[in-house]
Amino acid sequence: MTTAPLPAPDALARALLLVAPSLDGDLVREVERITGRGAEPLTDTPPPDDAPLLCVGETLPDALRTDRLLWFHSVNAGTDPLLSAGPWPAPALLTRTVGRMGERIAQYVLGWMLAECQAVPEFTDRHARAHWERLPTELVAEQTALIYGTGRIGAAVGRLLGACGVRTVGVARTTRSGPPQGSGPVVPGSARVVPGFDRVVPGFDRVVPGFDRVIGAGEDTEALGEARWVISTLPLTGATEGFFGAARFAAVRGATFVNVGRGATVDMGALETALRDGRLRRAVLDVLPTEPAAPGDPVWKLPRTVITSHSSGITTDEDIHTDFAACWKTVAAGRRPELTVDVGRGY
């Protein structure tokens, strides 16, 4: 794990507060209230004195990527643009905003799944042609969703789908171990819970809230062939770039692919091939490798594909305020915030 040490109390007390000019005035005043100091604009020019820097914003200028940076709180959940723009200062804590993004993305995923099962695209087409035709529909219940990413967002998706009776299989970086799932009460939207287990027990699937089962990324071939929906919530890291390529799409057998993670985790050529040869039923892409997509971008012509312009989990000012306040309170108490980013992993 690659995380900076917590800011020392004296350094935090002396830190200058820099906020991105894009932040709303009311949000800036809330950040000032939380930290007990006035804010200055976050610009390409560092303040003249040597005080430590506490920054809140979307991007970090190169001139501030120094040991003066004490803490950067990202107003976004995805921090890959921050980390890929240049070397991250080793002493600097990086936290992020998630807020209620998991709920929003979960509703987005479920909405498209329900629309597909109720033949909404087909009925919309027939309405446009004034054509009356009864079409078959299907239930989401008892079908399988393979969800890549078992963190906050992936788990939120799993919980909501599980509440609708969908079988949820999470895919993590590595195989998880933990209590057996063969007995005990079932918690809606989660794996089976076995009373008395509070430690890892080798040889059994780990209980991960939001999922009926969790597998490792290296053992997903069979699960891809069984899934009705393949859902990606993956962040963009060195390990996930191009993750969904020809080999994984070749294992799919008629699933719909939904990407609410990062666009560059998908090999778009392999995706197009899988759509055109029918291995993928359709695709719902909230994210793309290059954003925004220009009107002439070939991605708009992918068959049976909908693009939703990176809108599934928009961060609100309330999210930023709530998460920054929680991080500040935790740091002030000498503990590491849950929203700390491991800069080595990229999430």
pLDDT score, position 203: 39
Q: Average pLDDT across each block of 10 residues of the chain; the chain has 347 residues. List them in order.
A: 82 97 97 97 91 96 95 93 90 95 97 98 96 97 97 95 97 61 39 29 56 95 98 94 98 98 97 98 97 96 97 95 98 95 87
DSSP sequence for 73-123: EESSS--HHHHHTSPPPTT-EEE---TTHHHHHHHHHHHHHHHHHTTHHHH
CB 308: neighbour CB atoms within 10 A? 13
Q: Select which of 291, 318, 335, 338 is catalytic.
A: 291
- Residue 39 β-bridge partners: 17
Is 338 labeled as catalytic in the residue annotation?
A: no
User: pTM for this structure?
Assistant: 0.85
Is 199 labeled as catalytic in the residue annotation?
A: no
Q: Select which of 213, 262, 279, 321 is catalytic.
A: 262
What's phi and psi for 53, nearest 5 deg?
Answer: -120, 130
Q: Select which of 206, 279, 310, 321 is catalytic.
A: 310
Give the integer Cα–Cα distance in Å for 269 and 258.
Answer: 16
Is 30 labeled as catalytic in the residue annotation?
A: no
**Residue 2 DSSP symbol:** -
